Amino acid sequence: MPERIVTCRVLSGRGNQCTGEAVDPDADLKICARHLGEAQRLIHAAFQRAQRTGQA
C-alpha cells in the first residue's frame, strides 16, 4: 500500500492551499498541526466571548 501524504485543507489569505501535512489523514478534518493550534485558539477565544456576553 503506497504511503499517501494528505495535505492540510486550510486556505491562506490569498486562496493558496496550505502545504502542511494533515495530522490525521483518515480524519474528516484534514488539517496540519499549525492550523490545528490556530483553531484551538479560536475556539478558546470564542468560548471566552460567549461567557462574557452570557453574563451580561
Can you give the binding site for Zn ion, defined by CB under 5 A? 8, 10, 18, 20, 32, 35
Q: Provide the 3-class DSSP secondary structure of residue 7.
A: strand
Q: What is the DSSP letter of 9?
A: -
Least distance to Zn ion from the beta carbon of 23, Å? Answer: 10
Least distance to Zn ion from the beta carbon of 5, Å? Answer: 13
Element (H, E) at 25: none
Least distance to Zn ion from the beta carbon of 27, Å? Answer: 14
Nearer to Zn ion, 27 or 50 (CB): 27
Q: What is the DSSP letter of 8?
A: P
